[in-house]
């Protein structure tokens, strides 16, 4: 089982919520110029539609994720350095 290094650090949206240790969900990730789905494992349950960050690859199209909020979204669309 080789890891998929290209997906680590990518964010995506959960198509199916994760169940923590009870089982994976499914994530849609933009990677390699397209969109791909992976089984998504998380420490705690996460709801469908949550934005997550891929923090590890388990190989065979399975990844570890954490809940993620893009820090740039907090800027509210304002230009960086403007002012």
- Give pLDDT, residue 50: 96
**What's residue 70's pLDDT?**
78
What domains, with CATH codes, occur in the chain? 5-69 (2.40.50.140)
In this predicted structure, what is the pLDDT of residue 35? 95
What 3-state DSSP class applies to 10? coil
pLDDT tens track for 15-33: 999 999 999 999 999 998 9
N-to-C CA span, the chain? 50
Non-local CB neighbours of 36 within 8 Å, separated by 6+ positions: 7, 28, 29, 61
Span 52-65, pLDDT tens digits: 999 999 988 999 99
- Among residues 71, 80, 79, 58, which one has the least CA distance to residue 11? 71
- 38 — phi, psi (to 5°)? -140, 155
């Amino acid at each position: 089982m080789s890891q998929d290094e290209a997906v680590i650090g990518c964010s995506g949206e959960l198509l199916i919520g994760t169940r923590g240790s009870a089982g994976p969900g499914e994530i849609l990730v933009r990677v390699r110029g397209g969109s791909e789905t992976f089984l998504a494992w998380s420490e705690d349950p996460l709801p469908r539609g949550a934005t997550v960050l891929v923090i590890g690859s388990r190989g065979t199209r399975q990844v570890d994720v954490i809940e993620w909020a893009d820090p740039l979204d907090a800027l509210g669309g304002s230009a960086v350095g403007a002012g």
